[in-house]
Amino acid sequence: MSHTEEEWKKILTPEQYAVLREKGTERPFSGKYDEFFQPGIYSCAACGAELFSAETKFNSGCGWPAFYAAKAGDRVKLLPDHSLGRSRTEVLCSACGSHLGHVFNDAPQTPTGQRYCINSVSLKFTPA
Ligand code: FE
């Protein structure tokens, strides 16, 4: 899956493009999947690859959808991110390289201790 940035601009809404392709971040507590806990699957809003199961979603209170694991099979790619003077780990879609969010080791209440902090705008939900 590869598109030029010009193609992505036509495929995605301006809001999606800003997050998925320009690594933006939606405002906290603004996303449609923040306080949303229906059973189903979350796919990449850009390419449709299945990324997260609702079974691993938890209420972190951080203002963005949070998952304690990605779906099996290297669906997401992790990269060091030193932007904004901080050391973080960026989460990208393995299939299309679009930006999803960041992962933090600050969720001891979950089975993995990890919090995949993902923008709602980067996801498309399909009910179970
Ligand atoms: Fe993708």
Q: What mean pLDDT value characterizes the chain? A: 97
C-alpha 62 – ligand 1 centre gap (Å): 24
Q: Are strands 88-93 and 99-107 parallel, antiparallel or unpaired?
A: antiparallel
Q: Is 93 a catalytic residue?
A: no
Check residue 2 and give its pLDDT.
81
pLDDT of residue 1: 67
Give 112 Cα–ligand 1 centroid separation in angstroms.
24
CA 123 to centroid of ligand 1, rounded, Å: 9
Q: Which residues, at least 6 apart from 70, have a Cβ–Cβ distance to it below 8 Å?
A: 51, 52, 56, 76, 91, 116
**pTM, whole model, 2 decimals?**
0.96
pLDDT per position as a tens digit, 92-114:
999 999 999 999 999 999 999 99
